[in-house]
Amino acid sequence: QKEVEQNSGPLSVPEGAIASLNCTYSDRGSQSFFWYRQYSGKSPELIMSIYSNGDKEDGRFTAQLNKASQYVSLLIRDSQPSDSATYLCAVNDNYGQNFVFGPGTRLSVLP
């Protein structure tokens, strides 16, 4: 059973701080990793993808991947109240066809 785990939260950070979201996965053969943001009552939207070990930066967002330890993280710098949402980690399975989603971490950025 392929699993993706996340701390359900809520994770509360003050405005301007760094929010750190973590995700672990069980399938060592996983190749692709994604972070989705879901606002309440809305559909998930892709914010970051990462395929290689190390860091990938896009604006205020940095994704970090460590395949040896089977974890992927998302850092949000200078957090804003508009970042308050549920963040879903998704992992592409070994066959590359299906994404397995974690349960999501609810982030609350306090003004």
What does the binding site for other proteins look like in residue numbers (CB under 8 A)? Answer: 34, 36, 42-46, 49, 88, 90, 97-104
Q: Which is nearer to other proteins, 45 or 57 (CB)?
A: 45
Dihedral sign from CA coordinates of 15, 5, 92, 65: positive
Q: Which is nearer to other proteins, 17 or 56 (CB)?
A: 56
Backbone φ, ψ for residue 58 (5° rounding) = -145, 100
44 preceded by a cis bond (ω within 30 of 0): no
> DSSP letters of 7-76?
----EEEETTSPEEEEEEES-TT---EEEEEE-TTS--EEEEEE-SSEEEEETTEEEEEETTTTEEEEEE
Q: Which is nearer to other proteins, 79 or 85 (CB)?
A: 85
Measured from the CB of residue 15, what is the shortest distance to other proteins in angstroms? 27
Measured from the CB of residue 66, what is the shortest distance to other proteins in angstroms? 20
Q: Which is nearer to other proteins, 14 or 51 (CB)?
A: 51
Measured from the CB of residue 104, what is the shortest distance to other proteins in angstroms? 6
Measured from the CB of residue 98, what is the shortest distance to other proteins in angstroms? 6
